Structure 1
Amino acid sequence: MAAVDSIFQKIKRSRRYVFERKDFDGIASYDQIGRSLNQLMDRGEIMKLGYGLYTKARVNSLTGRLMPTCPGGSDALMREILKMKDIDFEIDNLSLQSLSGKNTQIPSSVHYSWDQKQFNRKLVVGNRLLTPASRP
């Protein structure tokens, strides 16, 4: 089985939505993994979120553009990335109240804050740019 097929099967069978390049170390060499990930991006099976971070993808039936398959959207992807990297983060109060059911207002986007020394990458999900907000 080719490296591309092995990596695709691993991604397809996984319950996670975010993957790092190092998740595929046992399958092929570093260069083969890079080429395989590029081929999967060209085929529309995955999309790149940032340096070394990828997510499962599918084509949006309305726009015809690639979008993440994660049911929670970009906010769920962001939480998964921060948890995967073991980074302490905080969510703004309005979003916390909405997520816990204390408030019926739904924020347009969830704002996260964390220590930039722990994780300082630019992540792009569709049109949304996810960057760290300063901690209060």
Structure 2
Amino acid sequence: MKLEERLIRSVKMRAGNVILRSDLASLGSASQLSEALRALQRRGLLVRIGTGIYAKTRVSSITGAVVPAGSLESLSQEALQRLGVTVSASSAAAAYNDGGTTQIPGKLVVNTGKRRIQRKIAVGGRRLVYENDYTRAATSAGRSLR
């Protein structure tokens, strides 16, 4: 059985919509896996949302195009959870949820606590943005972030 066929079976059997490259590492060598994942992307079975992070796809009922099987919010939350990163609501989202402001946050921002993270996750042209307690402390103390 070809590696591509084994990957298809493995992806279909997995719960959730996020597939990590590390989940599939035991199926073949790094170069074989890269080529097989590229082939699945060309066929429209997977879409890459970050380095080593792939999402399952579905066919849109409106346009008939292949789209990720979730939104940026759901896929990024699942990916970060699978990577072991704990996140909470951003300061803007927390202020809106507490009734402190009527401004709806325009982009998806998550707070990573004391953890610094640089991983890029993007779905459909939208990108996840991170904030942490270090940037909050610097801005609340009146210091510039530059």
Q: TM-score range, shorter-chain basis?
A: 0.7 to 0.9
Q: Which runs of 5+ in 1 are unaligned?
A: 98-105
Q: Is the CA contact 1:18–1:77 (under 8 Å) kept in the aligned structure 2?
A: yes
The alpha-carbon distance between structure 1 residues 29 and 62, as it changes in their structure 2 partners (threshold 3 A), is same
Where does residue 53 of structure 1 map in the other structure? Answer: 53
- 1:132 pairs with 130, 133, 140, which one? 130
Work out which of the two has the higher radius of gyration on C-alpha atoms and give 1 or 2. Answer: 2
- The separation in 1 between residues aligned to 2:58 and 2:96, in whole angstroms, is 27
How many residue pairs get aligned? The number is 126
Q: TM-score, normalised by structure 2?
A: 0.73
**Residue type of the partner of 1:44?**
G
Instruction: Say if 1:48 and 1:95 are closer, same or farther in 2 by CA, change over 3 A.
Output: farther
Give the letter aligned to residue 72 of structure 2: S
CA distance in 2, matches of 1:15, 1:114: 25
Deviation at 1:58, TM superposition (A): 2.0
Partner residue of 1:82 out of 80, 97, 117: 80
Stretches of structure 2 lacking an aligned partner (at least 5 in a row): 99-103, 137-146
Q: CA RMSD in A?
A: 2.5
Note closer, same or farther for the CA distance 1:5–1:116 as it changes in structure 2 (3 Å cut).
Answer: farther
SS class of match (1:26): helix
Cα distance in 1 for residues equivalent to 2:69 and 2:59 = 9
Offset, 1:18: 1.1
Q: Which amino acid aligns with 1:111?
A: V
Superposition pairs for residues 95-114 of structure 1, below 5 Å? 110-114=108-112
3-state secondary structure, aligned to 1:16: coil
Quick one: structure 1 residues 116 and 53, their matched pair in 2 at CA, closer, same or farther if it must change by over 3 Å? farther
Mapped to 1, the partners of 2:36 and 2:44 lie a distance apart of 12
CA distance in 1, matches of 2:20, 2:97: 28
Partner residue in 2 for 1:103 = none
Report SS of the residue matched to 2:48: strand
Partner deviation per Cα, 1:7-57 (whole Å, 9 max, x = no partner) = 111111111211121111221111111111000000000000011110101
